[in-house]
Amino acid sequence: MEPLVRVEWDGPVAGLTLNRPARHNSLVPELLAELLDALADLRRRPDVRALVLQAEGRSFSTGGDVRRFYEQGDGVYEYASGLVGQLNRAVQALLDFPVPVVAAVHGIVTGGSLGFVLAADVVLVAPEASFTPWYNVVGFSPDGGWTALLPALIGPRRAAEVLLRNLTISAREAVEWGLASRVVPAEEVRAEAWRVAAEIARLQPGSVRRTRRLLRAAWGDVAARLETEHGEFCAQIVTDEAREGMRRFLGEG
């Protein structure tokens, strides 16, 4: 079995690759468990000086696997609580990671997977990359930092309109609004992420750590805001609206 999260190395730079391409790297407990384990292992390694986050396949990640949610039936609350709890821990682990995180983003990013992008320090996007919430279409409540982190980056009014109207943020808009660092040609985005990470890894590690810590201080109590998202997601997932929304989204019945 191929790992759902692949760990790679290039000198002092470690790479984590989401590796569920047949399902667009959608989030399931198994993938998030592997991601959390990999982050915990790398955190203990003093030789890691920078981290690259990337993905295989056509999409970076399409958020929670709606079919998995739908298949839970009466157990959907417990499943959702566990999954969003894992996602929150992964986002927090990236935010708290001791070295900078560089994300190479291509294709579609939807739902809670945006949290991985929000938690990165440098975000390089391919021209076709896009970011769409989908919550109000499927009947879910936002998770992964769409309300906890995104407004601080792009502004509360923009975040509100994107979420309430289910708008797509293009790669160009992501850079202009502050969600991403810059657009890189699709065939170069991963190599450029590794190059940037290697450049950071050559700098003075203590200075880099303190800089990152000072920049992160402005986020405030992210954990509490993510936990609020967690509670609202679980409350919404058990409604008839969510059940019907999932059924329509999947084309069931």
Cβ-contact 64, 111 below 8 angstroms: yes
Across the range 199-215, mean pLDDT stands at 96
Task: Report pLDDT digits (tens) over 132-176.
Answer: 999 999 999 999 999 999 999 999 999 999 999 999 999 999 999
Distance separating alpha carbons of residues 10 and 28, to the nearest angstrom:
28
Please give the model's pTM, rounded to 2 decimal places: 0.96
How many Cα atoms sit within 13 Å of 225 on the Cβ side? Answer: 17
Task: Report pLDDT digits (tens) over 139-150.
Answer: 999 999 999 999
- Of all helices (H) and strands (E), which one includes residue 50? strand 50-55
Tokens of 75: 């157990």
Q: Which fold has domain 5-189+220-250?
A: 2-enoyl-CoA Hydratase; Chain A, domain 1 (3.90.226)
Cβ-contact 159, 150 below 8 angstroms: yes
User: Is the pLDDT assigned to residue 28 strictly greater than 70?
Assistant: yes
- What burial class does residue 205 get, using C-beta atoms within 10 Å of its C-beta: 0-12 exposed, 13-18 middle, 19+ buried? middle
| Residue ranges of domains in the chain | 5-189+220-250
User: Is the pLDDT assigned to residue 253 strictly greater than 70?
Assistant: no
pLDDT band at 219 (very low <50, low <70, confident <90, very high): confident
